[in-house]
Structure 1
Amino acid sequence: MNLLAAAPTGPHLLRELEQVVAVELDRHLAVAKEWFPHEYVPWSAGRDFDGVLGGEAWTPEESGLTDVGRIALTLNLLTEDNLPSYHYEIAAMFGRDGAWGTWVHRWTAEEGRHGIAIRDYLMAARAVDPVALERSRMEHMEAGYQGDHMDNPLHVIAYVTFQELATRVSHRNSGRTCGDPIAEQLLAKVATDENLHMVFYRNLLKAAFEIAPDQAMRAVTDMVTDFRMPGHGISGFERAAVKLAVGGVYNLPIHQNDVLLPVLRNLKVMERTDLGPEGEKSREELAVFLSGLDTQATRFEERRLALEARKAANRA
């Protein structure tokens, strides 16, 4: 029975998914492992900054991170900083009661430690300019966050499914390229949390396909074709994103092969036989988009490899 045909605004869907949320919440709590941000911060490396305590002013030479790593961790932290806006969005959509509410608050608590951990690491390691970081945080949080299509629960569930995996990949790759084994360990812990969040939302999306396949297909198509990372509003995001793309942290091939396709395969989107005319239309749109994305990703990777070859030749 297609419940969303009778209730396109979404409350019926949220009620239908309540039991799935309860099951997934129990599963999440059983597999999530407790960890403590302070254990991944090199406190002994820290010292006072200039200011009221009369410490030493920060200089770029102090950072032990690679240039790409410093940009990646800064961007990741600023994205995590906007958690109050994200909490508001999902709490307003899913509610604060029952299994939905329990999940919303648990998710928020787990996400909150990511920003705490990354900021403490960056300050103790003196890896970034603390003044510039704070000014960027203020600017980004004052702007807030409002995603696309966030008035429909299916679109929200579809978006966070892809977004959580994208964030997991970004954190993991940031750790691998940052040049510091301590930061890599920390970001691996953060990435593990993000992956568990993705699994939670992906399983909800899978259940939504069983309840309302056409509407779920529409939501997936809209989210894939219009996807933007939650940090897109950060000042200088485009310039930073280009550097991260070239540096192999997050780019079109990674987005395609490590984020979009794994989720779509898990959901068996292209194999479904229960779609109606509207669902089929949405799937066709998705197929056309993915074909074009594959072409773009291939061209990007060719250019990136050519650039690396030129840099290697110049160094030689």
Structure 2
Amino acid sequence: MTLAPAHSHGQAVWSDTQLLYALEEVVETELNRHLKVAKEWMPHEYVPWSDGRNFDGVMGGEAWAPDQSKVSDVGRIALVVNLLTEDNLPSYHHEIATLFGRDGAWGTWVHRWTAEEGRHGIVMRDYLLTSRAVDPVQLERFRMAHMSEGFESDNQHSMLHTVAYVAFQELATRISHRNTGHHSGDPVCDRMLARIATDENLHMIFYRNLLEKAFELAPDQTMCAVRDVVVNFRMPGHGMPGFERAAAQIAIGGIYNLRIHHDDVLQPVLRFLKVLKIGGLGPEGLKAQEELGLYMGGLDDQATKFDERREALLARRRARAERS
């Protein structure tokens, strides 16, 4: 097997195996950087254990009721979506371990990433149940339904598509957690989600820096992968029960919507990588770059229209509240 890429239109064409090998040194560098800056933290320190009490059922405690929650309505919806997304970690681990492998620096990163992501699900579930923020029966039924479906990437199972997707998705998750904390109405929840968001940001930096090196090695292929991921982007929780309705409420609530997706997720990564300014591309790369630019312009227009509709809806709600 050769590890030298083939060529097309004067550009190297890399297989997944060749790219994994070529990027191994970058992965090791980024892994070491990550381990130096990542701070150890304990999930149990972020949970208000003294607020906890037995639920109904075998323990004979008190059934959950909405008025027991300190969290806002939109905060409850977002917390369930965020936790169910974290719950599907076994499927995500399978996806990236299958693509990246379990050996060398790649394998070390996959396992480290999985361990850190697992901590997020632990602390969120402990917080939600102890503080009675959400309905525990509904949460468990949703978890069973969502995990039974599993998760399969939309991204054609190419290594470059996966790296591009997680670079954007980790930032999207960070923004979603952070905004959920801000809108939750509970300072304890806000502090916990801020801690999780810090981890997600470090994960984004790892994948973003990897994507930057991929652009140097295989600019056309990487540009096409970024184009495909951005144009077809969906959050990993899209298969959970009631996701469309929950996503609409989260969007109106200002936690995650088109404007946030464009301004706070896509633009920062594209700008950092100078994706729309990269030169030296072949025909396929140039086509992908042009399509990406057109898509971003169209998304900005859609976000503006969404902002106008959202503001009109919120104004009607305020008027109704004032009349009642």
What's the offset of the Cα at 1:4? 6.4
**Structure 2 counterparts to residues 196-207 of structure 1, below 5 A:** 196-207=202-213
Normalising by structure 1, report the TM-score: 0.98
Kindly indicate whether residue 169 of structure 2 is the aligned counterpart of residue 167 of structure 1: no
Paired residues, number: 316
Tell me what 1:181 maps to. Answer: 187
Give the equivalent residue in structure 2 for 1:296: 302
Whether the 8 Å contact between 1:9 and 1:152 is mirrored in structure 2 is: no
Tell me the distance in 2 between the aligned counterparts of 1:4 and 1:179.
56
Match among 72, 75, 84 for residue 78 of structure 2: 72
Q: Could you say which residue in structure 1 is the equivalent of 2:269?
A: 263
1:238 match: secondary structure = helix
CA contact (8 A) 1:4 1:10 kept: no
Counterparts in 2 of 1:145-164, with a 5 A limit?
145-164=151-170
161-170 vs 148-157, which moves further: 148-157
Query: How do 1:39-78 residues align onto structure 2 when only pairs under 5 Å count?
Result: 39-78=45-84
Given candidates 121, 128, 137, the residue that maps to 1:131 is: 137
Ranges in structure 2 where 5+ consecutive residues have no aligned partner: none
- Give the C-alpha shift of residue 8 in structure 1: 4.3
Match of 2:217 among 201, 211, 219: 211
Mapped contact 1:69–1:177 kept (Cα < 8 A) = yes
Distance 1:204 1:313 in 2: 49
Amino acid paired to 1:308: L
In structure 2, the residue matched to 1:3 is: 5
The answer to whether the Cα contact below 8 Å between 1:59 and 1:129 also exists between their aligned partners in 2 is yes
Change (3 A) 1:278 1:178: same
Counterpart check, 1:113 vs 2:119: yes
Amino acid in the other structure paired with 1:154: L
Structure 2 counterpart of 1:98, which letter?
G
Q: Deviations over 1:188-242 (max 9, x none)?
A: 0000000000000000000000000000000000000000000000010000000
Amino acid of the structure 1 residue aligned with 2:64: W
C-alpha offsets along residues 58-87 of structure 1, whole Å, 9 cap, x if unaligned?
111111110000000011000000000000
The 8 Å contact of residues 219 and 285 in structure 2, kept in 1 or not, is answered as yes
Q: Secondary structure at the match of 1:206?
A: helix
Deviation at 1:275, TM superposition (A): 1.0
The percent identity for this pair of structures is 65
The letter for the 1-side match of 2:5 is: L
Give deviations 1:1-41, integer Å, cap 9, x for gaps: x9364654310001000000000000000001111111110
C-alpha distance in structure 2 between counterparts of 1:304 and 1:66, whole Å: 19
Question: Contact 1:4–1:12 at 8 Å: present in 2 too?
Answer: no
Ranges in structure 1 where 5+ consecutive residues have no aligned partner:
none
Structure 2 distance, partners of 1:274, 1:7, is 15
Q: Over aligned residue pairs, what C-alpha RMSD do you find?
A: 1.3
1:37 to 38, 43, 58: 43
Q: TM-score, normalised by structure 2?
A: 0.95
Secondary structure at 1:147's aligned position in 2?
A: coil
- CA displacement 1:93-136 (0-9 Å, x = unmatched): 00001000000000000000000000000000011111111111
SS of the aligned residue for 1:75 comes to: helix
In 1: Cα distance, 2:297 partner to 2:278 partner: 19
1:76/1:171 contact within 8 Å kept: yes
Deviations 1:250-297 (A, max 9, x none): 000000000000000000011111211110000111111111111100
Q: Which amino acid aligns with 2:33?
A: R
Cα distance 1:311–1:4, how it changes in 2: closer, same or farther (>3 A)?
Answer: farther
Q: Which amino acid aligns with 2:164?
A: A
Q: Secondary structure at the match of 1:309?
A: helix
Query: Deviations along 1:147-170, whole A, 9 cap, x unmatched?
Result: 112421000000000000000000
Contact map agreement 1:3 1:211 (CA 8 A) in 2:
no
Once residues 227 and 239 of structure 2 are traced to their aligned partners in structure 1, the CA distance between those partners, rounded to angstroms, is: 23
Contact residue 32 and residue 196 of structure 1 kept, 8 A: yes
Write out the 4+ residue segments of structure 1 that deviate beyond 4 Å after TM superposition: 4-8
Tell me the distance in 1 between the aligned counterparts of 2:156 and 2:132.
Answer: 37
